[in-house]
Amino acid sequence: MLVRRVKVAHFTDRRRDIAVEVKIGVQHAPREIVLESGQSAEEVERVVAEALAGKSQLLSLVDEHGRKILVPADRLAYIEIGEPAPRKVGFGAL
């Protein structure tokens, strides 16, 4: 009996290691919403553009902890999308 061993390459999803900071200004709210999203900056921009174009009534984003943030599209004042940065881990991340 002949047994072949095949090495399987494990690919890591590098997007999981990158976070994008998103700041959302809401009309008539004194503070902005700040979150770090695992989505790319392009994906966040696409979702925001769809909400502003009226394709959806809610802006829906998911942060790095899996929490969903919903903001009514007609209440958006501004969106600031930061540069992709590696996620911070540990006590040295301060």
In this predicted structure, the answer to whether residue 91 has a pLDDT above a threshold of 80 is: no
pLDDT, average across residues 66-87: 89
Q: Which CATH architecture has domain 18-86?
A: Roll (2.30)
**Cβ distance 75 to 28 under 8 Å?**
yes
Smallest CA-to-CA distance from 74 within 55, 92, 51, 93 is with: 51
Query: Per-residue pLDDT tens for 1-51?
Result: 555 554 444 433 444 567 899 999 999 999 999 999 988 899 999 999 999
Q: What does the mean pLDDT of the chain come to?
A: 81
Domain boundaries, the chain: 18-86
Query: Per-residue pLDDT tens for 43-62?
Result: 999 999 999 998 989 999 99
- Whole-number pLDDT of residue 18: 75
0.75 surpassed by pTM? no
- Whole-number pLDDT of residue 2: 56
